[in-house]
Every structure is written in structure tokens, then in C-alpha cells.
Chain A
Amino acid sequence: MFRNLLLFVVAALALASGPAVAKVRVAASTNDLASIASRIGGDEIEVFAIARANSDPHRVEALPSYMVKVSRAQVYLKVGLGLDQWAGAIIDGSRNDKVLLVDCSKGVPVLERPTGKVDASMGDVHPDGNPHYWLDPRNGATIGQNIAEALTRVDPAHAVLYRANAESFAKETAASYEKNHARAARLASKAVLTYHRSWSYLADAFGLEVVATVEPVPGIPPTAKHLALLVQTAKARKVGVLLQEPYFSAEAGRFLVRQAGVRVVTQSSACADITAGSYLAHFDNLFDALAGGTAP
């Protein structure tokens, strides 16, 4: 009797709840792509990111647990330009032959594309150009368009929503750009040092000048000679700030604080999480930190 009652209740609940509305499952290499996807897809998608905000996006271990997650995804958002090469192993390992792979760099004006022969004597250089393009909010709008087109392909029923969200997001990125461009103009010094060449797009967008990098060439830690040169450069160019990610060694920064009087601003190049507002909030946080208003 009790069993029959239980079965009846379960069946009634199942019928009452109606058919579940399947959301589009989106996997992204980084928080920034996932955050933009959240903004474009809204309630129609479920999204997750693989690289953590405070870890080096160049180096992510292709864990089987990531492969399991990607095996359930309908869309994979890739940074491209050689940054997330590890994504290939995860996608291959996911055994998901239906996932739509989206290179979000499509349509982005790429900076620092090397000319001539590229080899390892130049360090960990990206042959297709600098891949940190999401750090220009104007490129965020292009990423949003790419994501909207991908979501439209896998879920045409909500194409109007995705395209409308991409358009409104583009306006938000333009507003963020204008606001933070004005803040950048008020910085005491626009000359900055960066640890890695990850901030070129930010500098290009907001009129900052990266006068030198702590890494003599990408991926190679500084030598004493190079640090001495940085001290000279920082003093000569009146550099106020060293901008670096938390996953790089703090040793060089401490040296430059002592010897050149720069202030170290430790900020991730990725936004904090995958929520819809996180991507643009990251620019506000960056300029808070550059202006010295918020402790990193």
C-alpha cells in the first residue's frame, strides 16, 4: 500500500513538473569567455570555465574530470592564438564529437603578431600574435558576437535573444571602455612595467605604455642584468606601477619596489568568476588598483 502511494506521488510530481527545459551546455577555457557567454546566453545556457582566475592560462593540466565535463557540452569556447593549446587534449579526451568548437579570437585585431622566423630563442612567443585580447573591452564585444553566433547554431530557437544580448553587451563594453579610458587619462603615470606581455591589449586600449617587461623574453624569468636595466628604465621613464599576475614570482617585484620605487599591482588577467557581470567588472577593478584606490 505504502509503495503504491509512494509511486503515485512520484508519478504525480513528475507529471506536474512538466518536461524539463534543456539548457545549452557551454564549456569555456577561461572565466572571461564564460562570463561573456553568461551575459549572452542568460538563462538559456549553463556554463563553466576550466582555467582558474588566479592560475596561468597558458598551462592547464588536462584532467579527466575536465574531459567528463566537456563530454556533456554542446559548445566549447576557446581563446585561440596558441594560448589554450591544452584545450585540444581536453576536447579530444572528452570523446565529444558533437561539441561546437568556437575560436573566440575570430575577428579580433591581433597585436604583436611576429614577422619573420619565430623560434624558441625568442622565448614562449605566440606565432599567431598576442593571445590576451580579452583585456580590451572592445574585443569583448567581438567575443560576444562570436558566442552569439555559436549559440544560435546550436539553439536556433533563441537566436533573437542571443543576438539582442550580444548587441546590448556591445553597448556595455563601449560604455566600460569610455569610462575606464577617462580613468586611465587621470593616472599619474601612464608608463608601466608588466611581468609578462599579457597586458598589451589593455595598454593599447587605454593609452598606457608598457615600457618594459620583467621577463626579458616571454616565459623566461629575469636575470640580474635585466633587472638592473629595468631599474634604470623605470627611473628614467618615471614608471609608477609594475602590473603582474599572482602566479608569477613576486621576487622581481620586491626588488623593483626597493630599487626603483615602483608600486606592484598584482591582478589576475582573468576576471574573478563566470557570472555575467564579471568580465566588465574586471576592468573597473583593474583601474581601481592602478589608481591605487583598491588593494590588490
Chain B
Amino acid sequence: MRRLLLGVVAVALCTVPVAANAGVTNPDISLIGQPLIHWTDAAGDPSRKRPVLDAGETEIVFDAALNPYARGWATLSFAEGGASVEEIYFTMLRGLPAGLTLKGGKYRMGFGKLNMVHPHAYPFAERFSVLAAYLPGEEAFNETGLQLSARLPAPGDISLTASIDALQGDTFRILRQPSLALNDPLAIDPLNGDRTAEPRTAVLGRLSAFLPVNVRSGVELGLSGTQGTNNAAAATRTTVLGADVKAKLWTGDDSFLLVQAEALKLDREEAGWDEASAAYTTTSIQPLGGYLFADFSWAKRYDAGASYESFQRPTADKTRDSAFGVFAGLWLMEETTAFHLEYHRFMPGTPDGAIESPDAVNSLRLRVIFSMGPHKVHQF
């Protein structure tokens, strides 16, 4: 799959005419810092009920035209855990037939409305737990792939866009706990008994529509679906379906209300091993969940809002967790510095058979986001 992707990318980049002196200038370079102060009463947290200063995640963004037809992006991420290439991709915006665009590399997947957005652009401090629980990947659903996108015919100024991604699929991988059976492939070969390292192609599709309400306001509706193999030997799959809506309604020259919601359904087959039949077994979990937030911005530099999420855990008992938060933001100077304050209350559900309900977890977070360079902190 990787060779195929690289081949297609190479062909795509080589088949368009490129000026001999293209790419002679430096790319736009931006640095985004996100230091924060965090407080939580979570049981077991070593800094429980004490404020913690954290340098947070720092991003360096490179952005440039590669030639008249394509642009390139790279985002390097630095955090306590180390450095990583969060995204590196090209987008062919012109030169393909029928208005198609092609994107290739490693990038945040366009599943729903929030996953593709970098955390520094959220009005709240952290992404919703339902996304972390249902979507593949740890920090985000971030994969190596190739995307073809097209705008479909639609009446008036409605924008209807469809995209399909062929993915490397590594983020779908789930490492199975070995059973006690002696004939379990994982007992025989703990490293690769489940053909763990084997490539597993995945796909993602999205259909989205933007419906203008007036010259500035609009509603976006989207449907997303992704499927990949989580265990190559057992051929078990993870499928996530999602529906999303985002409405941005301007209430004045400098004020708008943003409302966004996503509903997700996870269908995950989990592989096990049956000693008697010496074969893989499959169980399926199908939890549902979603989030909703509303954010009101005014006078260019203030915003305040609230969020709510509720989701079934991706476990057999489907315990339902929920959380709500309130947040406020201040853009101090122009678009280069923003303060985000959030109170968040996570209310874990009570698993079947549990005697006591677990305690809710309260947390408070003040995040400062500053940017150096052309890539700004966003909404201003």
C-alpha cells in the first residue's frame, strides 16, 4: 500500500509542468506555543488539587506553494514526550480533471468537523473524549494516505463536496492480549503472531454540504465513514460512522454564534482466540456517542461557550460517560495571542455490577496560545 501511495504521489507530482525556478523561496514558517496552567481533582493524579504549569504542545508549521499547481504543509509537534511530525502533506489544487484535488502524505483525517482542526484552534482546551474513544489514533485520527476530493453539482451557492481517502491504516491496529492457550499464535510468537506488522489498508469517505443562510452565515452538514482492519490475522475490522452539523450565524458585524455537534457510531470487531477450535473468535461492540458545543464571539476579541458530550464506552457493558464544560476566550492583541479558560466536569458512568458510582472529575485549565509567523491563532 505504501509503495502504491508513493508511486501515485510521485506520478502526480511529475506529470504537471513545473517552472524550472519554482520553489526558490523559503516557506512561511510559524511557531505556535500553548503553555498552560492545569488543576484537577482526579483521584490518582500525582498533582491532584495542585496547579500544574505545563509548557504544552508547541507546533512549528511550514507552508508554501510547491509550484503553480500544488502546496505543501508540514507541522512538527514538540511536547514533553518528544518531537514528532504531526502532518506532512501536499495538496494538488489545480491541473487535475473535473476540478478534482489530490492530497497525499500524513495528515489529520477529515472525519467530522473537529478531528481535522489543530487543538490550538479549539475554543476549549481539549478534544472531546468521544473522539478519543471511537476514532483510531492516540492524539487524533492522523494517518498516512491519499485523498481525492471533488465538488459535486449543487444548486445556487450550495457547496457539496465528496472525498475519499485510501489510508495506510496503521492507526486501526489493536494489539490483542494473548490468551492462556498454548496454541494461541501470540503465545507462539508474541511479536508477530497476529501478523501485527502487516500492512492493512483502510478507507475514509466524507460527504459535506455548506448551505449559505445569508452572505456571511451558513450551515454545514457532513457524513463521514471509515473502516480499517484492526487485526490482520483475525481480519477483524473497526468501522466508525459519523454525522456532523456546524452552524455559524452572524448576529452583528462583530458577533457570531457557532454551534457544532457530531454523532458517532463505532462498530469494532475484537479478535480473541479459541483454543479448542484453534481459531480466532470475534466479538463486536457497537457503542454510540456524540458531542455538542456552542460558542458566542463578540467584539472581535471575546468568546464564551459551553459543551456537552455523552458516549457509551467501547466496552462490552457500554457504560455511558458524560461531561460538560464552560469556556471563555480573550484575544489579547490582534490574532497573535489568545487566552482560553475552561472548567470541565467529567462524569464517569457506573459499570454494570459496580457497587459505588465513581467520582466526577473536575478540572480547570488556563491556556495561552501565541503565534509567531503568518499562521495565526485563528478566529479574530
Known: A54-B253, A249-B299. A123 touches B334 (CB 8 A): yes
Say yes or no: is B212 at the interface (Cβ < 8 Å to chain A).
yes
Say if the beta carbon of B119 comes within 8 Å of chain A. no
Q: Is the CB of A95 within 8 A of B216?
A: no
**Residue from the list B94, B159, B161, B216 in contact with A97, Cβ < 8 A:** B94
Q: List residues of A (200-240) whose CB comes within 8 Å of B's CBs.
A: 219-220
A54 to B254, CA, bound (A): 11
Judging by beta carbons under 8 Å apart, are B336 and A247 in contact?
A: no
Counting contact residues on chain B (CB < 8 A from A), the size range is: 20 to 34
CB-defined interface of A37-73 with B at 8 Å, one 1/0 digit per residue? 0000000000000001011000101011101110100
Say yes or no for A80: interface residue by CB 8 A criterion: no
Chain A residues with CB below 8 A from B151, complex form: 68, 71, 95
Q: In the complex, are the beta carbons of A246 and B253 less than 8 A apart? A: yes
Check if A68 sits within 8 Å of B253, measured CB to CB. Answer: no
- B371 and chain A: residue at smallest CB distance: A120
Contact B334 A63, beta carbon cutoff 8 Å: no
Taking the complex as formed, is B356 at the interface, i.e. its CB lies under 8 A from any CB of chain A?
no
Alpha-carbon separation in the docked complex, A59 to B250 (Å): 14
Known contacts A68-B157, A71-B151, A92-B93; A247 and B254 CB within 8 A of each other: yes
The answer to whether B210 and A97 touch across the interface, beta carbons within 8 angstroms, is: no
By beta carbon, the residue of chain A nearest B379 is A61
User: Which B102-140 residues sit within 8 Å CB-CB of chain A?
Assistant: none
Q: Cβ of A112 < 8 Å from any Cβ of B?
A: no
Interface residues of A in 88-127 (CB under 8 A from B): 92, 95-97, 120, 123-124
A124 and B376 CA atoms in complex are apart in Å by 12
Residue of A nearest to B71 (CB): A92
Asked if B215 lies at the interface with its beta carbon under 8 angstroms from chain A, I say: yes
Cβ proximity bits B332-347 to A, threshold 8 Å, 1 near / 0 not: 0110100000000000
A14 to B351, CA, bound (A): 70
A63 touches B372 (CB 8 A): no
B95 contacts chain A at the CB level, 8 A cutoff: yes
**B249 in the interface, Cβ–Cβ < 8 Å?**
no
* Docked-complex contact B216 and A68, CB < 8 angstroms: no
A68 with B334: CB separation less than 8 A: no
Which residues of chain B are within 8 angstroms of A124 by Cβ–Cβ distance? 334
B93 and A64 contacting across the interface, CB-CB below 8 Å: no
Given known A-B contacts A59-B380, A63-B218, A120 and B159 have beta carbons under 8 A apart: no
Q: How far is the CA of A124 from the CA of B300 in the complex (A)?
A: 15
Decide: A63 and B253 in contact? CB cutoff 8 A: no
- Is A65 touching B218 in the complex (CB atoms < 8 A)? yes
Q: Cα distance A173–B254 when bound, in Å? A: 34
Given contacts A52-B215, A95-B99, A123-B334, are A67 and B159 in contact (CB under 8 A)?
yes
Tell me whether B162 is interfacial, beta carbon within 8 Å. no
Contact B216 A61 (CB under 8 A): yes
Question: Smallest CB–CB gap between B174 and chain A, Å?
Answer: 36
Task: Count A-B pairs with CB separation below 8 Å.
Answer: 55
Bitwise interface map of B from 67 to 95 toward A, beta carbon under 8 Å scored 1, else 0: 00101000000000000000000000111
What residues of B have a CB within 8 angstroms of the CB of A95 in the complex?
93-94, 99-101, 151
Inter-chain CA distance A160–B361, complex, in Å, is 74
Whether the pair A120, B157 counts as a contact (CB closer than 8 A) is no
Which has the most chain B C-beta neighbours within 10 Å: A52, A54, A63?
Answer: A63
Q: Does B42 contact A (CB under 8 A)?
A: no
Q: Does B158 make an interface contact (CB < 8 A)? A: yes
Most buried by B among A54, A64, A96, A97: A64
B313-344 vs A, CB cutoff 8 Å, 1 = contact: the mask equals: 00000000000000000000110100000000
Q: Is the CB of B159 within 8 A of A65?
A: yes
Q: Is the CB of B253 within 8 A of A71?
A: no
Contact assessment for A65 and B210 in the assembled complex, using a CB-CB cutoff below 8 Å: yes
Cβ-neighbour of A71 out of B93, B99, B216 (below 8 A) = B99
Complex contact A63–B299 (CB within 8 A)? no
How far, in angstroms, from A69 to B161 measured CA to CA in the complex? 14
CA A97 to CA B67, docked complex, whole Å:
13
Complex: chain B residue closest to A61, CB-CB = B216
- 1/0 per position for B279-308, CB-CB distance to A under 8 A? 000000000000000000001000000000
Which residues of the other chain, B, contact A61 by a CB distance below 8 angstroms? 216
- Contact assessment for A63 and B210 in the assembled complex, using a CB-CB cutoff below 8 Å: yes
* CB pair A97 B95 closer than 8 Å: yes
| Bound-state Cα–Cα, A195 to B182, Å | 79
Q: Which of A17-46 contact B (CB under 8 A)?
A: none
- CA separation between A204 and B260, bound complex, in Å? 47
Task: Judge whether B253 and A55 touch: CB under 8 Å.
Answer: yes
Cβ-defined contact, A120 with B71, below 8 A: no
Cα distance A68–B158 in the bound complex, in angstroms = 7
Contact A65 B212 (CB under 8 A): yes
Compute how far the CA of A114 lies from the CA of B99 in the bound complex, rounded to whole angstroms: 39
A29 CB to nearest B CB, Å = 14
Q: A65-B159, A246-B253 are in contact. List 12 more A-B contacts (CB 8 A).
A: A52-B215, A65-B157, A67-B159, A71-B99, A92-B93, A95-B99, A95-B100, A97-B69, A97-B93, A124-B334, A219-B334, A249-B299
Could you list 6 A-B pairs, sorted by A, with CB under 8 Å? A59-B380, A61-B216, A95-B93, A95-B101, A120-B372, A247-B254
B residues with a Cβ closer than 8 A to A are 69, 71, 93-95, 99-101, 151, 154, 157-159, 161, 210, 212, 215-216, 218, 220, 253-254, 299, 333-334, 336, 372, 380
Q: Name the 10 nearest CB pairs between A and B, nearest first.
A: A64-B159, A97-B94, A64-B210, A95-B99, A65-B212, A65-B157, A219-B334, A92-B93, A68-B159, A68-B157
Residues in A lying within 8 Å of B, measured CB to CB: 52, 54-55, 59, 61, 63-65, 67-69, 71, 92, 95-97, 120, 123-124, 219-220, 246-247, 249
